[in-house]
Amino acid sequence: MLSFSAIAFSQTSPAEGDWEGVLKLPSAQLRLRLHLKAAPSGLAGTMDSVDQNAFGLPISDVTFTAGTLKWQMPQLRASFEGQMNAAGNEIAGNFTQGMALPLTLKRMDPAAAASAGPKRPQMPQPPFPYTAADVAFPSKSSGVTLAGTLTMPAGKGPHPALILVTGSGPQDRDESLMGHKPFLVLADCLTRQGIAVLRYDDRGIGKSTGSFATATSLDFSMDAEGALDFLKTRPDINAKSIGIAGHSEGGIIAPMVAARRSDVAFIVLLAGTAVTGADVILEQGQAIARVSGATEEQLKAARAKQLEFTRIMNSTSDPGELEKKLREFLAGAPNADAQIRQLTSPWMRFFMTYDPAPTLAKVKCPVLALNGEKDLQVLPDQNLPPMKAALEKGGNKDVTILRLPSLNHLFQSAKTGAVSEYAQIEETMSPAALEAIAKWVRTKSGLEK
């Protein structure tokens, strides 16, 4: 981890440490690991679902009071509540996700916990040739404060800077998923090359305030704009050389800010979209199903179902009416309630209908857009051509489009690009992608000719 500025905690919690248990499902067993550490608010942590190759899943609202541990997983609509035994080495309770299942967590030996995680050879290790500090700043949205980490290159400065904006779903400042920390790796790479980097927890996640569940991409763009304003107040940052890099959903958020603000020096779109969310989801589903072995008949049926979802979503702006129509369409389907909650959320309703092209046409600053050739979530053939066309339609003369061979949605070197590979690949981010981003940002910020 980066050498974050030290935070003094008055006491440690008995729940701190690493825990492991087995969740017994009707048809399988899943090993779960919980990692808890001290935070200013009390406790913070992550969870691993070992048998699903899912590591570093964020948890929130962690409390330990009178021997009772509670935490939430908003992205999975899951929660846990359990009681610690007198010896302090077991926590017995229920893991709830649609149904409540018993789960007993046993404290792990520190040495065993350290060796249990997946191999991530790119994880930055000290000593670091730069400094890092915890920071907090207000969003442009009232009542929201974002918490993050600012890494600063050696030397007096002022330094050029890049703001990192995460992809969809509740994300921490490192964009942690499946044992990977892409934004930590990217920030380390850039800061070593003279670029200050600000990355922050999504609103309502980690140490950031606000509600994630009720926010849309437009709200998240207000958070990114708050990050821009914060950096502009710092004398050690070059206010004329601050850019924004967004991954996936962040790739539509960065242009929103750049279209509103002429003081955004440049933007980097990492697997950003250029068509409506409905179109992205349709082709994403087809690509993932195809690489998973679906037949043409199955692909045709899935496409028809997704098109009907889109028709229903576009048929009404009334949330109650939409829920009614979806319940009729999904009657008898497994997990219907969970699907309806997702489809009727403010974020999904915005994402499905939002067309990034008109906003891209308003972006006048230099743009670097990258996609992995094997990206199955944001397909390069679907998004790069209309992105280039929209930017050029608006008169932008400084556009660089890169289609990187053999890389997936996370910019890892991949075999097929399937989501199931993400956790299995040791590489967090391809050196080719890291170097392409760093070289372009250094050039646009005047550090390199």
- % of residues, the chain, pLDDT over 90: 73
User: Beta 68-73 vs 54-65: how paired, if at all?
Assistant: antiparallel
CB neighbour list of residue 332: distance below 8 Å, 6 or more residues apart: none
Kindly give the pairing relationship between strand 68-73 and strand 78-84.
antiparallel
Tokens 């730069």 found at: 130
Confidence (pLDDT) at 2:
29
Which among 13, 31, 51, 18 is positioned nearest to 103, based on CA atoms? 31
62-76, 100-114, 160-174, 329-343 — which is least confidently predicted?
329-343
Q: What is the pLDDT of residues 206-230, one digit of tens each?
A: 899 999 989 999 999 999 999 999 9
How high is the pLDDT of residue 292?
Answer: 85
**Alpha carbon 422 to its chain's center:** 14
8 A C-beta contact, residue 287 and residue 299: no
Average the pLDDT over each of 34-38, 152-156, 223-227 and give the range with the smallest value: 34-38
Backbone angles phi, psi at 388, to 5 degrees: -60, -45
How many C-beta neighbours within 10 Å does residue 311 have? 12
Q: What is the pLDDT of residue 6?
A: 28
How far is residue 143's CA from residue 147's CA, in Å, rounded to a whole number?
A: 13
Cα 59 to Cα 83, 176, 278, 279, 418: the distances in Å are 18, 11, 28, 30, 25
Q: Cα torsion for 124, 126, 128, 132, to the nearest 10°?
A: 80
* C-alpha–C-alpha distance, residues 110 and 133, integer Å: 27
Identify the band that residue 389 occupies on the pLDDT scale cut at 50, 70 and 90.
Answer: very high
Q: How much is the pLDDT for 149?
A: 98
State the pLDDT confidence band at 3, using cuts at 50, 70 and 90. very low
Dist. CA 287–CA 164, nearest whole Å: 27
Phi, psi for 82 (deg, rounded to 5): -150, 160
How much of the chain exceeds pLDDT 70, in percent? Answer: 96
Q: Can you give the pTM of this predicted structure?
A: 0.80
Residue 8 pLDDT grade (very low, low, confident, very high; cuts 50, 70, 90): very low
Sketch out the chain's domains with CATH numbers.
17-116 (2.40.128.120), 130-275+355-444 (3.40.50.1820), 277-352 (no CATH)
9 pLDDT more than 70: no
The model's confidence at residue 437, banded by pLDDT at 50, 70 and 90, is very high
Roughly what angle, to the nearest 10 degrees, separates helices 277-291 and 346-353?
Answer: 90
Nearest to 202 by CA among 247, 161, 238, 241: 247
What is the secondary structure of 151-182 as a DSSP string?
Answer: EEESSS--EEEEEEE--SSS--TT--BTTB-H
Find tokens 């050879």 and name the residue. Answer: 121
Structure tokens at 326: 């979806």
Task: Please name the residues in contact with 86: beta carbons below 8 A apart, sequence gap of 6 or more.
Answer: none
Q: Band the pLDDT of 373: cuts 50, 70, 90.
A: very high
Quote the DSSP letter at residue 2.
Answer: -
* Distance, CA of 347 to chain centre: 14
The encoded tokens of residue 444 equal 């646009």
